[in-house]
Chain A
């Protein structure tokens, strides 16, 4: 079956602009996760959803970052007033459930803020 997909694959924006990054999880997966990977680092947890609700958003760096999953499937990560330091690869993952279930990652969206 289809894996996790993310769009766009690349996004270039100017400082101060608003961006939306989309994630389509594997069909039937109830848990969805967002990570951010900066150059030379491992993925850093941002937020995860169980169904439609954000079960843990403690990894979001500040209030410019927000994510939604209105119907319990597709999720959108929204970044307001982008800064150059937001430049990174944003990874989405999904799992069948929570806890020990394996997380399957998408290819990521590379965000570049000029």
Chain B
């Protein structure tokens, strides 16, 4: 039962442009969402999160948008840089519950 879905396995963008990574979830109990970034041979690194009481959270070049009615969130990276090339995982959980569910990941390639 895949409760968090990332339907795009890969995305390629030009340096300086916007990268938009999408994520859908099915469990309406989820109220806390996170994005992790993963480089090869390393563990996932926390990037940004959002609580369900918000619809937007921004941190530098990274912004996460949450649409609760659509059960959809997205990560925007502006401007994209070659160093952003990595696999990005969307994750969700019920706050204060430690069972975090991950999507399958989207491999982002930013071309110079």
Q: A residues bordering B, Cβ < 8 Å? A: 4, 31, 33, 35, 40-45, 48, 55-56, 58-59, 91, 93, 98-100, 102-108
22 residue pairs bridging A and B, Cβ less than 8 Å apart = A33-B98, A40-B104, A42-B4, A42-B103, A42-B105, A43-B44, A43-B102, A44-B102, A45-B98, A45-B99, A45-B100, A45-B101, A48-B98, A56-B99, A58-B99, A91-B43, A93-B43, A99-B95, A100-B95, A104-B43, A106-B43, A107-B42
Task: Contacts A33-B98, A42-B102, A43-B89 known; list 10 others, CB within 8 Å.
Answer: A35-B102, A42-B6, A42-B104, A56-B99, A91-B44, A93-B43, A99-B97, A102-B49, A104-B46, A107-B42
Q: Tell me if B41 counts as interface (CB < 8 A to partner A).
A: yes
Interface of B is mostly: loop
